[in-house]
């Protein structure tokens, strides 16, 4: 009876761990930011965008750049800054990258069905029974730089890191907008 209780407890613990892992993956991108602590951001009144942006293509503004500009414009305006196309206090630039990654997982395998059932996780199989699973995925990185235009110095940067799926790329506009909102959540000036 105690063995059955222990087995159920182990099964419940594994199920809860799996649920937390899935919930953690569904939480969205990882957001990081750095700020120059010596800067008083309330002294800035205007912002503009680099020309060309790092996300532009040679000779024209990409659709990604257009979405990022619109999203960042909204976020900075909501924080009391005004867009100025000439002589802004702050200049904004973007970077975006996609990297192909491999994830390798090794787990004890079973050479024949029910052959190692008697072990039930108390000790492992021989190394030759290891199963290796290789999964390819795409990691996306979106960066936003905010530069003090007068000093030509980076004063704040925000980065979003996360997995990119086909579903993400099929609906890129709202995904980029959500990432920009998340990144600016760490900006020194909060919405008014």
DSSP conformation class of 58 = T
Q: Which two tokens stand for residue 164?
A: 């990119």
Describe the strand order of the beta sheet including 130-148 as a list of residue ranges.
30-35, 153-164, 130-148, 90-108, 46-49, 82-83
For residue 97, being part of any structural domain is answered with: yes
Say how far apart CA 180 and CA 68 lie, in whole Å: 7
Calculate the CA 129 to chain-centre distance. Answer: 36
Asked whether the predicted pLDDT for residue 186 surpasses 90, the reply is: yes
Domain span holding position 88 = 2-184
For residue 76, being part of any structural domain is answered with: yes
For residue 155, being part of any structural domain is answered with: yes
For residue 192, being part of any structural domain is answered with: no
Helix 172-184 to helix 63-77 angle (10° resolution) is 40
Q: Name the pLDDT band for 105 (thresholds 50, 70, 90).
A: confident
* Cβ atoms 29, 177 nearer than 8 A: no
For residue 189, being part of any structural domain is answered with: no
For residue 190, being part of any structural domain is answered with: no
Instruction: Give the CATH number, domain containing residue 52.
Output: 3.30.160.670
Structural domain tally of the chain? 1
Residue 147: strand pairing partners: 91, 154
* Cβ atoms 110, 125 nearer than 8 A: yes
For residue 125, being part of any structural domain is answered with: yes
Give 112-165 pLDDT, tens digit per residue: 555 556 666 665 555 556 677 777 767 889 999 999 999 999 999 999 998 888
Tokens 């990604």, residue? 64
Give 48-80 pLDDT, tens digit per residue: 999 999 999 888 999 999 999 999 999 999 999
For residue 126, being part of any structural domain is answered with: yes
């Amino acid at each position: 009876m105690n063995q059955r209780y222990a087995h159920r407890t182990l099964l419940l613990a594994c199920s809860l761990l799996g649920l937390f892992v899935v919930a953690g993956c569904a939480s969205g991108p990882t957001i990081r930011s750095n700020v120059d602590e010596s800067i008083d951001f309330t002294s800035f009144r205007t912002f503009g965008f680099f020309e060309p942006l790092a996300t532009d293509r040679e000779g024209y503004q990409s659709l990604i750049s257009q979405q990022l500009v619109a999203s960042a414009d909204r976020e900075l305006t909501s924080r009391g800054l005004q867009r100025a196309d000439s002589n802004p206090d702050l200049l904004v630039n973007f970077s975006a990258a996609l990297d192909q990654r491999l994830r390798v997982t090794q787990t004890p395998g079973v050479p024949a069905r029910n052959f190692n059932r008697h072990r039930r996780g108390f000790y492992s199989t021989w190394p030759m029974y290891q199963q290796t699973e290789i999964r390819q995925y795409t990691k996306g990185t979106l960066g936003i730089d905010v530069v003090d235009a007068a000093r030509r110095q980076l004063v704040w940067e925000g980065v979003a890191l996360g997995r990119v799926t086909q579903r993400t790329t099929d609906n890129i506009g709202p995904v980029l907008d959500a990432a920009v909102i998340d990144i600016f959540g760490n900006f020194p000036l909060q919405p008014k």
